Amino acid sequence: MDTKTMQRYQEIENALAERFGTPFTAGPGLPGLNELTRLACHRSHRKYAQQEIAPALLRLLLGCAFSAPSKSDLQQADVIHVADRARVKSIVDLIPDMPWIIDAPVFLMFCGNNRRIREIGEWRGKPFANDHLDHFMNAAVDAGIVMMNFIRAAEAVGLGACPISAVRNRPHEVSRLLELPDCVFPVAGLCVGYPAEAGRISARLPLEVTVHVNRYDETCLKEQIDAYDRRRHELQPYRRQRNAERFGKADFYGWSEDKARQYAVPERADFGAFIRQKGFSLK
């Protein structure tokens, strides 16, 4: 085995061990080492070098993104490249706690699009007989898969990215700003650029919590979450405690305390109403 291949194996094993807190083995002869290394070492990036992304490269990456699987070949995802910096600034003004959006050379909005299928049905003289929750979910999932494919393609050419789900905090304003018609809705934004720093590997819940065999299993869940809290605190402690004025200062502040506080405060409560206004029944 040559030195470069050995380094790839080591990178994969080290990255996954850091992320999940348990050892992994990348056996000899494993194909696809470059792709596996990128996936295992994934990092979100919020600081970007002052280097533009060539239009031809962006088009190539979008082509790779839309090569993703699509539910029943319905192709219900769209991307809006927000190239107008004034519009990008308007999005930043809506979510001012994410200033890195304005610094990204490229900002993309990934949207679910159920409008096109409805229009095709009208053109072909067919009724739209699936006005229920699943058709909304299909479009949202398609958009998410396309975004992940874009991230994979971007990282393959040395770019970094950061998804922005906070655009759904202000869906009415984002929709008006980008002139989204009925049955087209924002799923997430994406900052894209050449990374200005290496970033870090985010610790994740152990696979024993998130991967189940044959049936759903919560055995020892609380103990596993507690252990994850401690491991994550050692690797990347929170710089501040969320909503301390409401919940006070915890002696130990881990991931589970942060997420419990996050979901203790109403957020995006009007998103269902927004989606219904967009023409989805959600029945």
Q: 74 burial class (0-12, 13-18, 19+ CB within 10 angstroms)?
A: middle
pLDDT, position 233? 97
What band does 2 get if pLDDT is binned at 50, 70 and 90? confident
How many H-runs (helices) and E-runs (strands) does the chain carry? 13, 4
Non-local (6+) Cβ contacts of 277 within 8 A are none
pLDDT, position 226? 98
Percent of the chain with pLDDT over 90: 95
Q: What pLDDT, in 10s, does the model give residues 185-205? A: 999 999 999 999 999 999 999
Non-local (6+) Cβ contacts of 205 within 8 A are 20, 224, 225, 228
pLDDT, position 27? 79
CB 178 within 8 A of CB 110: no
pLDDT, position 4? 86
pLDDT, position 248? 97
What band does 3 get if pLDDT is binned at 50, 70 and 90? confident
CB 79 within 8 A of CB 109: yes
Distance (Å, whole) CA 221 – CA 141: 28
What band does 212 get if pLDDT is binned at 50, 70 and 90? very high
pLDDT, position 29? 85
What are phi and psi for residue 110, nearest 5 degrees? -95, 125
pTM equals: 0.94
Domains of the chain, first to last: 55-198 (3.40.109.10), 207-262 (no CATH)
CB 229 within 8 A of CB 256: yes
pLDDT, position 71? 96
What band does 120 get if pLDDT is binned at 50, 70 and 90? very high
Q: What pLDDT, in 10s, does the model give residues 40-74? A: 999 999 999 999 999 999 999 999 999 999 999 99
Mean pLDDT confidence for 79-92? 97
**Does 167 score more than 80 pLDDT?**
yes
Q: In Å, what is the CA distance from 106 to each residue of 46, 49, 57, 184?
A: 12, 12, 12, 21
Distance (Å, whole) CA 186 – CA 91: 12
Q: Which two tokens stand for residue 241?
A: 């405690």
Question: Average pLDDT over the chain, rounded to whole?
Answer: 96
Distance (Å, whole) CA 160 – CA 143: 19
Mean pLDDT confidence for 106-131? 96
Non-local (6+) Cβ contacts of 59 within 8 A are none
Q: Which two tokens stand for residue 35?
A: 């792709």
Distance (Å, whole) CA 226 – CA 283: 38
Q: What pLDDT, in 10s, does the model give residues 234-270? A: 999 999 999 999 999 999 999 999 999 999 999 999 9
Distance (Å, whole) CA 275 – CA 10: 46
Distance (Å, whole) CA 24 – CA 174: 42
pLDDT, position 280? 95
What band does 155 get if pLDDT is binned at 50, 70 and 90? very high
pLDDT, position 70? 97
